[in-house]
Amino acid sequence: VIRRTFAIDNPWFRGSAELPLYHPDELLGAKMRALYQRKKGRDLYDLWHALRCAKVDPMRIMECFRRYMERDGAIPSRAEFEANLAGKLSDEAFLEDIRLLIPAAVDYDPASAAALVQDSLISKLPGDPWRGSGR
């Protein structure tokens, strides 16, 4: 947790407050857990967007993910996570979850997003790659 001071100074109000904020890598570690545990396409989109647009540390993201999953009782192997994501990419509900939330100007392709998340993050999990689905 990092702390930042936010201030407002306008004709209606003047003041400041120190707010606790999560480090982006910590948030993305939690987002990786969400991608694994639930069927929301927005989790894949958020990870894709952050990897493309923010300065993040993939190793630190995966360390945060590992800690979250350890607390949940099980850390998935690389193959388990890859199989999990492959199943979601063939699920219409997963793919439709985000469609209406993405700005029209954003060129988002779930398969490309999954490839980036796979290469940048999932590949850092222990174990062999998944060999299913024609691989």
> Which of left, alpha, beta for 108 (phi over 0: left; psi -120 to 50: alpha)?
beta
Q: What is the predicted pLDDT for the residue at 134?
A: 56
**Above 90 in pLDDT, residue 51?**
yes
Count the Cβ atoms, other than its own, within 10 Å of residue 23.
14
Is the pTM of the predicted complex or chain greater than 0.85?
yes
Q: What value does the mean pLDDT take over residues 56-79? A: 96
Residue that is written with structure tokens 């691989």 in the block: 135
Both tokens of residue 72? 């949940």
Q: Predicted confidence band at 8 (pLDDT cuts at 50, 70, 90)?
A: very high
pLDDT band at 132 (very low <50, low <70, confident <90, very high): confident
Q: What percent of the chain has pLDDT over 70?
A: 98
Question: Which of these, 93, 85, 66, lies nearest to 132 by C-alpha position?
Answer: 85
Going by C-beta distance under 8 Å and a sequence separation of 6 or more, which residues neighbour residue 78?
A: 122, 123, 125, 126, 127, 128, 129, 130
Mean pLDDT of the 108-134 span: 93
pLDDT over 90 (residue 82):
yes
- Arithmetic mean of pLDDT, 38-64: 97
pLDDT-based confidence at residue 27 (cuts at 50, 70, 90): very high
* 121 confidence band (pLDDT: 50, 70, 90): very high
Mean pLDDT within 78-96 = 96
Q: Round to whole Å and give the CA distance between 11 and 29.
A: 40
- Computed from CA positions of residues 86, 68, 119, 104, in that sequence, does the dihedral angle turn out positive or negative? positive
